[in-house]
Amino acid sequence: MSDSELRSRILEAASQYFFENGFSKTTMEEFAQSMGMSKKTIYKFFPSKDDIIKEITREKLQHVHHGCLHCQQDKSIDFMQRIKNVTGFISSEMRKLKPQFYSDLQKTMPALWKEVDEFRNQRIYEDFSAMIREGVEIGVFRKDVNIDVLVLMYGNAMQSIINPETLSKLPLNASQAYEAIVDIIFGGVFTQEAKEKYVTHTTEKVTKEEVPQ
Alpha carbon distance 83, 179 (integer Å): 12
100 belongs to a structural domain: yes
pLDDT tens-digit series, residues 40-54: 999 999 999 999 999
Q: What is the pTM of this model?
A: 0.78
153 belongs to a structural domain: yes
25 belongs to a structural domain: no
143 belongs to a structural domain: yes
pLDDT tens-digit series, residues 137-176: 999 888 888 999 998 988 888 888 777 788 888 888 888 8
42 belongs to a structural domain: no
| Overall number of domains in the chain | 1
Cβ atoms of residues 174 and 162 within 8 Å: yes
Alpha carbon distance 17, 106 (integer Å): 18
55 belongs to a structural domain: no
Task: Flag whether pLDDT at 69 surpasses 70.
Answer: yes
Task: Flag whether pLDDT at 197 surpasses 70.
Answer: yes
Given this model, what pLDDT does residue 213 score?
A: 45
3-state helix, strand, coil in the chain (%, to 5): 80, 0, 20
CATH code for the domain in which residue 109 is found: 1.10.357
Range of the domain at 174: 60-210
Cβ atoms of residues 174 and 94 within 8 Å: yes
83 belongs to a structural domain: yes
